[in-house]
């Protein structure tokens, strides 16, 4: 399951950073920048990406 989560989180973080990186750079200090990005990334991963991956990789996960 940890691999599945990593497969979901890494591309999601990368895409959000590419799309919104300029805006996040304006947020100071760094902990607030991280908070803002995780407020976007975590719901996307939990409610969209992870369920889609579980469905796509279900047979692999059940081994």
Q: What is the pLDDT along the chain (63 residues), one digit of tens a residue?
A: 888 999 999 999 999 999 999 999 999 999 999 999 999 999 999 999 999 999 998 887 776
User: Residue 5 has what pLDDT?
Assistant: 92
Distance CA 5, CA 10 (A): 8
Q: What is the pTM of this model?
A: 0.82
C-alpha angle 51-56-57 in degrees, rounded to nearest 5: 95
């Amino acid at each position: 399951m940890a691999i599945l989560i990593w497969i979901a989180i890494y591309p999601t973080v990368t895409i959000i950073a590419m799309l919104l990186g300029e805006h996040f750079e304006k947020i100071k200090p760094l902990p607030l920048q991280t908070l803002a990005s995780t407020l976007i990334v975590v719901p996307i991963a939990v409610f969209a990406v992870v369920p889609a991956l579980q469905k796509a990789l279900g047979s692999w996960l059940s081994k």
